Amino acid sequence: MNMKDNIEETNRLRKIIERYSRAKLNRQNWESHWEDCYDYALPQRSDSSQFSVLGGRRTQNLYDGTAMDAVDQLASSLLGHLTPPWTQWFGFKAGPDLSESEAQKLAPVLEDIGRKVQSHLDRSNFSVEIHQCFLDLAVGGTSMLYFEETAIGEYSAFKFTAVPLQDVVLEEGDNGFLDGSYRNLSLTLKQLQDRYPNADLPLHLLREGDTNPHNTFDVLESVLPYKGAYSFTAILNDESAPILLKEGKFNSSPAIAFRWMKSPGEVYGRSPVMKALPDIKTANKVVELILKNASIAATGIWQADDDGVLNPANIELVPGAIIPKAVGSQGLKPLEMPGRFDVSELVLNDLRGRIRHALLSDQFGPLSSKNMSATEVLERSSEMTRLLGATYGRLQSELLTPLVTRAFSILQRRGEIPDIALDGRYVMLDYRSPLARIQGRGHVQNVLTWLNTVSSMGAPAAGSINVQKTVKFLAESLSVPGELIQQELLPENSPILGGDNVILEQK
């Protein structure tokens, strides 16, 4: 690379760093808010200076654990309702541009593709990392999952990393979606060489890393939209000039950022903990005052005459203690308290109830009664769908769809699945998570009610029912595998998976 190319590359890297700096400047107003949320609801992920020691105790200033418990329940509920472990929560189905016969021919292939993608997810660290992302989502309102490809021959083709919120900087495009994303890394020389094996590091950095193996280097990874795809750039922030460590192009972004709720004009999301933060702080203070009041009630406040005999510094209030006093003096006697703090229990119960309601733990928690009827269970499921409707729609577009699309792209490039176009016209995603099934259950109930009504009208009315299409509709609504449904015989010259393989060649 000649001098001119070096100057052009350095200027390009500096422009990326400047763009990152502007985006980080827009994030400053959120940092103090995030710190409050993490300190009270998820202290183990807090990045405060007082919590900087790994493995240290991080709950010294917390007296009420309602928010921490509710956040754990909400994250576990999101994991179970959206991406349940060891369960195929997604699938693929034929798109609207295919005929019925083509869709039937393609269905077994799509079922096999779904099983292969799910198999790689189950063998990866997806469940562990996505749970950490859901914790960040519930507390900070924004989360990022890094989706990388492993080397050929690894147990799984996928590798996931839950990026801490303090290391994430985002940009929003004109369409309202998160386009640009940046990630900060602090790596030792060995970690730097392992992550970027082909990087051309300068000699002074190699000497510095060899002299002090624990010395870390700041790395900036950016994923930015570029001509319908995404460009990846890893930059080492050296004092003299930025150094390019790695760059590449991706059809789907490896940095998947998603939000709980978005306000107009804001890039980062707002979380349920932010909504409940005043109640969380108040409940924490009320419990602190209750404990202080209980300590006073247990030990009391005492007064004594300074008669030269009684020394308050040597008094221990323990059972069986003998406290000397001068003859004729009152000695040690308790000081009456001016009031009682019984109203605190009423205030605390109300605060805890509002915190659980804001964090949805009263909806996603265990059943309140073991004798709940089927109607109550259905109503409970409908309430979940109503409460998470808007959030689920956002998570589906910002998390689930990019996640499955990138998994599909990786396995397709490796040659493990056929070269089928996942474009929504020929092949489309089919969400089969428990929450998605709850949403489809209402349609099934309406169809079953209609079937019962028509059947009760006698044979002439029942003859108007198309049994095969009804079975197909119910199977799709309930996410039944296509191999369990009896298919009609298809003509041998069907263009799907035969002859010239028309659909499989679509890009």
Q: Which pLDDT belongs to residue 305?
A: 65
Antiparallel, parallel or unpaired: β 243-250 and 229-236: antiparallel
Q: Is the pLDDT of residue 333 over 90?
A: no
Report if residue 326 sits inside a domain.
no
Q: Which pLDDT belongs to residue 10?
A: 86
Residue ranges in 141-237 assigned as alpha helix (H): 189-195, 203-211
Alpha-carbon span 286 to 107, nearest angstrom: 59
- Tens digits of residue pLDDT in 199-216: 888 887 888 777 888 888
| C-alpha dihedral sign at 159, 160, 164, 166 | positive
Q: Which pLDDT belongs to residue 134?
A: 95
Please choose, from the candidates 110, 111, 100, 112, the residue with its C-alpha nearest in 3D space to the C-alpha of residue 489.
Answer: 100
Report if residue 428 sits inside a domain.
yes
| 448/501: higher pLDDT | 448
- Tens digits of residue pLDDT in 269-295: 999 999 999 999 999 998 888 888 777
**Which of 88-100 are b and which e, b meaning 16 or more Cβ less than 10 Å from the residue's Cβ?**
bbbbbbbbeebee
| C-alpha dihedral sign at 96, 99, 100, 102 | negative
- Tens digits of residue pLDDT in 166-199: 899 998 876 667 778 999 998 988 899 899 988 8
Q: Which residues contact 492 (CB under 8 A, 6 or more apart)?
A: 498
The residue with tokens 């929504």 is: 424
CB 107 within 8 A of CB 1: no
Alpha-carbon span 474 to 211, nearest angstrom: 67
| C-alpha dihedral sign at 436, 438, 441, 443 | negative
The residue with tokens 């495009």 is: 173
Q: How confident is the model at residue 504 (pLDDT cuts 50, 70, 90)?
A: very low
Provide DSSP, 440-468: HHHHHHHHHHHHHHHHTT-HHHHTT--HH
Q: How confident is the model at residue 102 (pLDDT cuts 50, 70, 90)?
A: confident
Query: In which domain, by residue range, is 26 found?
Result: 1-45+61-294+342-432
Q: Is the pLDDT of residue 72 over 90?
A: yes
Q: Is the pLDDT of residue 495 over 50?
A: no
Please choose, from the candidates 153, 363, 347, 143, the residue with its C-alpha nearest in 3D space to the C-alpha of residue 259.
Answer: 143
Q: How confident is the model at residue 491 (pLDDT cuts 50, 70, 90)?
A: very low
- Tens digits of residue pLDDT in 372-420: 665 665 666 666 666 677 788 888 889 999 999 999 999 999 999 998 8
- Tens digits of residue pLDDT in 452-489: 888 888 777 777 888 878 887 887 777 776 667 766 54
| 39/310: higher pLDDT | 39
Q: How confident is the model at residue 18 (pLDDT cuts 50, 70, 90)?
A: very high
Total count of domains within the chain: 1
Looking at residues 323-351, what average pLDDT do you find? 69
Report if residue 488 sits inside a domain.
no
Q: Give the range among 116-125, 233-242, 319-328, 344-353 with minimum mean pLDDT.
A: 319-328
Overall residue count recorded for the chain in this entry: 507
Q: Which pLDDT belongs to residue 48?
A: 46
Q: Which residues contact 277 (CB under 8 A, 6 or more apart)?
A: 36, 37, 40
Q: What radius of gyration, in Å, describes the C-alpha atoms of the chain?
A: 31
Q: Which pLDDT belongs to residue 403?
A: 95
Q: Give the range among 85-94, 136-145, 303-312, 459-468 with minimum mean pLDDT.
A: 303-312
- Tens digits of residue pLDDT in 239-265: 778 899 999 999 889 999 999 988 888
Alpha-carbon span 28 to 268, nearest angstrom: 11
Give the burial class of 76: count Cβ atoms within 10 A of its Cβ; 0-12 exposed, 13-18 middle, 19 or more buried: middle
CA distances from 308 to 249, 302, 326, 464 (A): 86, 17, 8, 106
Q: Is the pLDDT of residue 235 over 80?
A: yes
Is the pTM above the cut of 0.85? no
Report if residue 456 sits inside a domain.
no
Antiparallel, parallel or unpaired: β 427-431 and 178-188: unpaired
Report if residue 188 sits inside a domain.
yes
What element of type H or E holds 123? helix 100-123
| C-alpha dihedral sign at 107, 108, 114, 118 | positive
Alpha-carbon span 222 to 16, nearest angstrom: 8
Q: Which pLDDT belongs to residue 257?
A: 94
- Tens digits of residue pLDDT in 341-353: 566 777 888 999 9
Report if residue 499 sits inside a domain.
no
Q: Which pLDDT belongs to residue 343?
A: 66
Q: How confident is the model at residue 87 (pLDDT cuts 50, 70, 90)?
A: confident
Q: Which pLDDT belongs to residue 368?
A: 52
Report if residue 281 sits inside a domain.
yes
CB-facing half-sphere around the CA of 139: CA atoms within 13 A: 31
Report if residue 170 sits inside a domain.
yes
